[in-house]
Amino acid sequence: MRNFELPGRSLAYAKGAMAATSHPLSTLTALEIMKAGGNAIDAAIAACAVQCVVEAGSTGIGGDCFALFSAPGRAKPIAYNGSGRTPAAAEAAWYVRHGIRSIDRQTPHAVTVPGAVEAWATLTKDHGRLPFREILAPAVEIARRGYVLTPRVAFDLANQTSLLCVDIGCSETFLISGNAPKAGSVQRQERLADTLELIGREGARAFYDGDVGAALARFLADRGGLHTSADFASAKGEYTDPIAIDYRGRTVYECGPNGQGIIALMIMKILSRFERSGSPRDVDNLYIEVEATRLAYAARDRLLADPAMATVPVDYMLSDDLASSLAAKIDLNKAIGDMPPFSGTEHSDTVYICTVDKDRNAVSFINSLFHPYGAGLMEPKSGVLFHNRAQSFVIDPEHPNCIAPRKRPLHTIIPGMVYQEGRPSLAFGVMGGHYQAMGHAHFLARLYEYGLDLQSAVDEPRLFPLPGTTTVEAEAGLRGSIVEGFGERGLKVQAPRWPIGGAQAIGIDWQGGVLVGASDHRKDGCALGY
């Protein structure tokens, strides 16, 4: 039970429907959509569209998304992969020929064709109840009339000023005379409002085809990108089978590769080889989580790629034999030193949303630009801010995640869902770029190994081993207690540059008929229900 004498948040409870997001306007929008007759899919996408406006540094229609959707009576959730692909001309040899050995952030080469809008339209058409225009209407109104910058949004904006100054569209939209506005300031995005309104009225093809799609492709091509109108016109996501493991008596579902949900499951399988007790903040317990994470991420950087264009050994990665052999490598006295070099980019930000409606449809939904404000490139007429997801590719023809035509990169964003006794018991997700796989395992361990409630598990201080290194970022609540113990084993502990990730969760108590929600204090949002 929460200690009411200490700062913190109470769990949210409701009988009807619930939403948990990282922005208050987004949570309120989701509830209003469900009260108006929409279901959990409608609510999640409406909430996300709002966040594309009010939390523009974390997500946008120029980004990608993944979703897990559970409908009553289904034995497992439906998964949707809304990640975008490279241009058809994106041959690895082209980058080598032009002296590009890695992909820089604020360049058109960091941009794959955004997949989010196509995913939204497909999910609402197949599983929603409301017209697309009604789902996007709140975001249109907020973008046009203006919105107030919340503290975490203002914090992220201030950290990206130097990036945004370089691009005219970004600087005119988000900055004032080259400076980041403070929390409490009002912003508007009228051009984005027009684009969202067009999408709501005419559908996703209005984004990918016609004037908008042509303008997006031309903007990138004019800056040296390989994108064409045909690349945008061919954008399409896909339904996939989710992957799953049994963990502490429950079934944990993730979207499969090219996302890193498989890495979260690998970490859980390694952790399940250890009988841990005591506090989740115990040095030994945290050390085991760090080493399990380092091992799983090393496998990620060798093996994870787009399964349509490379062999990803899913069965092997989730095998009991591999989990046992990796667990056996963990020495409680000395950190593993021989890890392969990390080939990706630093961890970043996104938005995660979960919704459950009165009929107990449940949605776990994540939408991202990757780094805060993505590539820092905005097409000025449409107000579309592009992501930088292609930075996750490598330029090495021998690597499964090498850039190639019409290929999806290794993706960090992962929605999660837990089933118990054949039905969903938890929709959850963790934000924070590369941290997310560890974040899933860290969060569920606190629930199912240490018995914390949802909000307490979200509130626990976090740590993250920077992949390919012996450096561990740790929040203030942990640094003092682990720096010596970790140092003796060969791990360096340092402060993170910003809070590690964020999280939202909704639990379903089927017997009591109650929903239970939690939301992360590291963000501005909340969990609410009715």
pTM of the model as a whole: 0.96
CA gap 151, 492 in Å, rounded: 31
Read off the pLDDT of residues 470-501 as tens digits, 9 standing for 90 and up.
Answer: 999 999 999 999 999 999 999 999 999 889 99
Q: Which pLDDT score is estimated for 468?
A: 82
Q: What is the pLDDT of residue 215?
A: 97
Tens digits of residue pLDDT in 153-198: 999 999 999 999 999 999 999 999 999 999 999 999 999 999 999 9
pLDDT of residue 125: 98
Determine the pLDDT at residue 349. Answer: 64
**What percentage of the chain carries pLDDT values higher than 90?**
93
Amino acid letter, residue 347: H
Q: Which pLDDT does position 344 carry in this prediction?
A: 45
Please say whether the dihedral angle defined by the alpha carbons of residues 402, 403, 408 and 414, taken in this order, is positive or negative: positive
Alpha helices in 388-506 (DSSP H): 436-448, 454-459, 476-488
pLDDT tens, residue by residue, 219-273: 999 999 999 999 999 999 999 999 999 999 999 999 999 999 999 999 999 999 9
Residue-averaged pLDDT of the chain: 95
pLDDT of residue 348: 58
Q: Answer yes or no: is pLDDT of 287 > 90.
A: yes
Of residues 500 and 7, more confidence is placed in 500
Q: Give 351-362 pLDDT, tens digit per residue.
A: 999 999 999 999
Q: Which residues pair with 518 in a beta bridge?
A: 505
- Ordered by where they begin, the domains of the chain are 10-107+237-375+388-530 (3.60.20.40)
The predicted structure's pLDDT at residue 338: 75
| Alpha-helical regions (H) of 21-145 | 24-35, 40-54, 92-97, 116-127, 132-145
pLDDT at 211: 94
3-state helix, strand, coil in the chain (%, to 5): 40, 20, 40
DSSP 8-state code for residue 394: B
The tokens 């409908």 sit on which residue?
Answer: 71
Q: Which residues lie below 8 Å from residue 446, measured CB to CB, with a gap of 6+?
A: 280, 452, 456, 457, 460
Question: Mean pLDDT over residues 311-325, rounded?
Answer: 96
Q: Encode 169-232 in three state secondary structure.
A: HHHHHHCECCECCCCCCEECCHHHHHHHHHHHHHCCHHHHCHHHHHHHHHHHHHCCCCCCHHHH
Residue 3: which pLDDT band, with cuts at 50, 70 and 90? confident
> pLDDT at position 98, please?
96
**pLDDT value at 426 more than 70:** yes
Using an 8 Å Cβ cutoff, are 154 and 180 in contact?
Answer: yes
| Structure-token match 């107030």, residue found | 148
301 close to 342: Cβ distance less than 8 angstroms: yes
Q: Per residue in 428-447, pLDDT tens?
A: 999 988 999 999 999 999 99
Q: Determine contact, residues 388/369, Cβ cutoff 8 Å.
A: yes
**Strand (E) positions, 357-422?**
362-368, 378-379, 384-385, 415-420
CA distance 326 to 291: 10
Task: Say if residue 342's pLDDT is above 70.
Answer: no
Asked if 477 contacts 522 with a C-beta cutoff of 8 angstroms, the reply is no
pLDDT class of 21 with cuts at 50, 70, 90? very high
pLDDT for 97-124, tens place per residue? 999 999 999 999 999 999 999 999 999 9
Is the model's pLDDT at 87 over the cut of 60? yes
Q: pLDDT at residue 339 above 80?
A: no
> What band does 427 get if pLDDT is binned at 50, 70 and 90?
very high
d(CA 30, CA 46): 6
pLDDT of 85 higher than 50: yes
